[in-house]
């Protein structure tokens, strides 16, 4: 079943910081009076390693869905234990690396369900990361991977879904063929999205919000265009307008 989402619900704001007060201020501005202007916030390794689970809980308590982007990648037992532990902060989304393999992905999926049940929370949408959006074909070649980016994304995406992942994190230009290959039940979360008015930064394979939604993306991960803006609320509103124009 295709997700039915309002335009603002598609935006997941990446809080790439280790400053808890700054992160809380951004989240409060994006959910004024308890009314969310976006669909959630993404916390990654910098925030988690600097501040730990208590700070994550502070952010989650502000009312926006939590995308915990830790990209677990290790032997199956280790990843399963990490996923179970992560359920203490009740993430709505949680990431693992698809390149960890079939057994690791299946262990993560089982652990997410078990850990969520033990914590009395809903299981997260388990997302497998295929190829990082900062990488291009030259980068893959430099680490001995001779497939094209598209071929590697397709291979890892199919493996992840078959092994129990609920969705994928993928670059915008892979969305269309993944949607066609995997169907509407797979959740596609897309970084590498930049509004037309925003700098490209270190993302090499990018689209605008409207283009990504038109290609079949469910959620868009957008960080600096919102968080580095003098007015994050205005920036989020402009992105919502771009999405509305493309829906």
**CATH number of the domain encompassing residue 174:** 3.20.20.70
pLDDT tens-digit readout, 15-43: 989 999 999 999 999 998 778 999 999 99
pLDDT confidence of 247, banded at 50, 70, 90? low
Is residue 1 included in any domain, yes or no? no
Averaged pLDDT score across all residues of the chain: 92
2 domain residue, yes or no: no
Question: Following CA atoms 37, 57, 23, 52 in sequence, which dihedral angle do they give, to the nearest 10 degrees?
Answer: -150
Confidence of residue 227 (pLDDT cuts 50, 70, 90): very high
Look at residue 235 and tell me if it is in a domain. yes
Domain membership of residue 119 (yes or no) is yes
Query: Cβ distance 238 to 169 under 8 Å?
Result: no
Percent of the chain past pLDDT 90, that is, above it, reads 76
Give me the number of domains the chain comprises: 1
Average pLDDT for 186-204: 78
pLDDT of residue 192: 83
d(CA 42, CA 16): 8
pLDDT over 70 (residue 142): yes
Task: Say if CB 93 and CB 66 are below 8 A apart.
Answer: yes
Q: Rounded to whole angstroms, what are the CA distances from 229 to 11, 19, 99, 225, 237?
A: 16, 17, 34, 6, 12
The 10 Å Cβ neighbour count of residue 237 is: 14
For 47, 81, 97, 132, 194, the CA distances from 170, given in Å and listed in that order, are 22, 25, 11, 7, 14
Looking at residue 232, its pLDDT comes to 93
| Measured distance CA(189)–CA(41) in Å, rounded | 13
Report if residue 117 sits inside a domain.
yes
Catalytic residue among 24, 35, 71, 176: 71
* 46 lies in some domain: yes
Q: How many residues does the chain have?
A: 247
Q: What is the span of the domain harbouring residue 94?
A: 7-246
Residue 222 falls within a domain, yes or no?
yes
Beta bridge partners of 40: 12
Say if residue 206's pLDDT is above 80.
Answer: no
| Annotation says 176 is catalytic | no
Residue 1: predicted pLDDT: 46
């Amino acid at each position: 079943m295709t997700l039915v989402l309002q335009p603002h619900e598609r935006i997941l704001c990446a809080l790439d910081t280790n400053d808890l007060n700054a992160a809380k201020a951004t989240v409060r501005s994006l959910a004024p009076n308890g009314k969310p202007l976006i669909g959630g916030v993404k916390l990654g390794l910098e925030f988690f390693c600097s501040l730990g689970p208590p700070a994550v809980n502070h952010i989650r308590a502000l009312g926006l869905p939590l995308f915990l982007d830790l990209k677990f990648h290790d032997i199956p037992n280790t990843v399963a234990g990490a996923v179970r532990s992560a359920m203490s902060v009740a993430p709505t989304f949680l990431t693992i690396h698809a390149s960890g393999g079939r057994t690791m992905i299946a262990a993560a999926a089982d652990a997410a369900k078990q850990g969520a049940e033990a914590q009395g929370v809903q299981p997260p949408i388990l997302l497998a990361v295929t190829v990082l959006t900062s990488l291009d074909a030259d980068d893959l070649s430099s680490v001995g991977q001779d497939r094209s980016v598209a071929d590697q994304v397709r291979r890892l995406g199919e493996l992840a879904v078959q092994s129990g992942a609920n969705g994928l994190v993928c670059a915008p230009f892979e969305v269309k063929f993944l949607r066609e290959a995997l169907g509407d039940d797979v959740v596609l979360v897309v970084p590498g999205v930049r509004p037309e008015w925003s700098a490209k930064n270190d993302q090499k394979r990018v689209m605008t919000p409207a283009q990504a939604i038109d290609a079949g993306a469910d959620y868009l991960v957008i960080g600096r265009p919102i968080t580095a803006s003098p007015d994050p609320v205005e920036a989020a509103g402009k992105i919502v307008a771009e999405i509305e124009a493309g829906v």
